[in-house]
Structure 1
């Protein structure tokens, strides 16, 4: 049984520490600041350094990542040199068989003390190019081989994480949950899915693209359960608490 409180990382409690990965997408300054202050370790992928410098142009010295990694085909050379001069660790990852996110995630998992954090949060996981969004989702499947910590993909309005096969209890009691959620069978069909706590529950049903997928669903109970024979992507909207 896996127990997860998917939106806990958005709460103000100082005890809910995270590892933060900044991806190369436009950043919201308030959300980025909030997540940064909750982070035990921060990393940026390649072109994400351009985004950081853009939103923190007046006080970028206060937001120095611990690690910058990537093949550096997107990072502005001047910005990269700035961070290098600030003694930020620069880790070249030229391997083209994996995305910058996957490679950065592997580095973070190697450096992280899993006892001190409760999740890894990737900011900028959605939006923009569809192939990039799908690649980020694919990285969630790779992540389960790197760490037992949940990895959350975050955009300005939604969160997603991978539920592996088995039984899950999701506590949706933060008060930040939005008015929609979804369970998506990405990767392969799931032949046996049962849920409770949703407006449209499933009872030992099959989910597959071209058949049934659960989108535009909603949470009706603070405790949601999911029992699945294959991995499913859980996604939920959230309300701004900033």
Structure 2
């Protein structure tokens, strides 16, 4: 698993979500100003030396001098990409494609993005665009203390729900064009329902069953309320 940390605050609370993700991750990447956020989190929690990323990647216009010097001294790679036609989030995926570990295929590695679906609206929309564009190349989950978001491919999918942390609210977003949807396991199920961004969408739905089945004619974004323990 690769953990990608975007430039959004890492909450300091009793929720062990971020430490748990960090512990499970094989690769840890900060995306430009995400290095500032990780550094700030480490200072607030007294754990600076515990959270050292493998790499800080991007055009590095947001990375502050203090975090840059600290992580560099701890062995983190500071990778600058000058390409202005791709965002820092896209640059992090480019870096993953070079492979952080010899002999491993980075595209077989699940990418968990911390943050991204909160904060600035343009950043949120871009994160959703990257999810849709990249879904055939790799599995990407965007996770926060409020939401869990990922792409369901064309065809049939099953979502196993842990009701202690998932839901109850959810939505299915047809961001790749009109999708004809059939579902089961939701409060308001759909039966060959044509869904478009300009027209009708299934938002503020409710997860009723521990397994949700969705059939779609095009890739769609699934998002659910997330309550990490």
The alignment's TM-score, normalised by the length of structure 1, stands at 0.85
Local SS of the residue matching 1:61: coil
Pairwise CA distance, 1:118: 6.5
CA displacement, residues 119-165 of structure 1 (integer Å, 9 cap, x when unaligned): 32100111111000000111112323532xx2111122101101121
Deviates more, 1:154-163 or 1:101-110: 101-110
- Mapped partners of 1:69, 1:145: distance in 2: 23
- Mapped partners of 2:65, 2:35: distance in 1: 10
CA displacement, residues 19-41 of structure 1 (integer Å, 9 cap, x when unaligned): 21000001124422121011111
Q: Which structure ranks higher in relative contact order (CA pairs < 8 Å, sequence separation ≥ 6)?
A: 1
1:66 and 2:54 correspond: yes
- Mapped partners of 2:25, 2:217: distance in 1: 33
Match of residue 188 from structure 1? 177
Aligned residues: 221
Match of residue 23 from structure 2? 37
Match of residue 123 from structure 1? 114
Long gaps (5+) in structure 1: 1-17
The alignment's TM-score, normalised by the length of structure 2, stands at 0.90
Local SS of the residue matching 1:21: strand
Task: From the superposition, tell whether residues 106 and 136 of structure 1 become closer, same or farther in structure 2 (CA, over 3 Å).
Answer: same
Long gaps (5+) in structure 2: none
Task: State whether residues 197 and 220 of structure 1, in contact with CA within 8 Å, keep that contact through their aligned partners in structure 2.
Answer: yes
- Equivalent of 2:157, from 163, 168, 189? 168
Task: State whether residues 102 and 142 of structure 1, in contact with CA within 8 Å, keep that contact through their aligned partners in structure 2.
Answer: no
Q: CA RMSD in A?
A: 1.9
